[in-house]
């Protein structure tokens, strides 16, 4: 099976620490440019459509034990690239069983899927779509999960060590964590670097 883009990064299974992420970045074939890293703050879409950005965000979520949402989003993106109609049904069923069904092995954040104004509508639509899958059958659920990540985990990521060590690189290799914290201004959601009115 072909590996996903973010699986190229040597990040350990299980909980990922910031130091593991630093080591993974150093071991990666090419360091991400400072200019590219700064684009990630513009919008979540920029972050997710950059190999290193996606890897960093996934590592952050893994460290928070909440990687199901990004893994569902990535699975949907991979699913939409499918060129063989015969493979749609088994792949759709696999994604559904893993992330959406009531017995899902890695259930996505269901409260976001169940809208207060339309109770369980997204879940019901997705469940129905999987019976006759198309390339767009997960679109609504994927959109809801994207909105959830954009409003919550993305903002936390921008204030995390996973992002700050890239946007404000250390000038010396022997700098201590306390020195980095003292000299690196933390990004808040009200920071001019973080888009407002989202």
CA distance 180 to 196: 26
pLDDT higher than 50, residue 92: yes
Give residue-wise pLDDT tens across range 141-159: 999 999 989 999 999 999 9
- Please state, in angstroms and rounded to a whole number, the distance separating the CA atoms of residues 196 and 76: 28
Same domain, 78 and 147: yes
The CATH number that applies at residue 12 is: 1.10.196.10
Residues 111 and 161 in one domain: no
The answer to whether residues 72 and 94 touch, using CB atoms and an 8 Å cutoff, is: no
Burial class (CB in 10 A: 0-12, 13-18, 19+), 46: middle
Give domain status of residue 195, yes or no: no
* Helix ranges (DSSP H) in 107-169: 110-113, 121-131, 139-151, 153-158, 161-167
pLDDT digits (tens, 9 = 90+) for 98-133: 998 888 888 887 554 554 333 378 888 999 999 999
CATH classification of the domain holding 117: 1.10.167.10
pLDDT category at 198 given cuts 50, 70, 90 is very low
């Amino acid at each position: 099976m072909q590996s996903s883009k973010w699986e190229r990064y040597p990040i350990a299974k299980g909980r990922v620490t910031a130091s593991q992420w630093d080591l993974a970045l150093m071991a990666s074939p090419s360091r991400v440019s400072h200019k590219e890293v700064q684009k990630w703050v513009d919008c979540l879409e920029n972050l997710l459509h950059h190999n290193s950005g996606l890897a960093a965000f996934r590592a952050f979520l893994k460290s928070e034990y909440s990687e199901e949402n990004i893994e569902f989003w990535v699975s949907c993106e991979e699913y939409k690239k499918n060129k063989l109609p015969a493979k749609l049904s088994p792949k759709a069923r696999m994604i559904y069983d893993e992330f959406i069904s009531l017995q899902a092995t890695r259930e996505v954040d269901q409260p976001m899927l169940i809208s207060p104004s339309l109770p369980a509508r997204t879940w019901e639509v997705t469940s129905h779509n999987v019976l006759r899958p198309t390339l767009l059958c997960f679109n609504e659920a994927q959109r809801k999960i994207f909105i959830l990540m954009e409003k919550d985990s993305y903002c936390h990521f921008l204030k995390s060590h996973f992002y700050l060590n890239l946007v404000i690189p250390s000038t010396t290799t022997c700098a201590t964590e306390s020195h980095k914290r003292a000299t690196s201004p933390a990004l808040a959601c009200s920071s001019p670097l973080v888009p407002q009115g989202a």
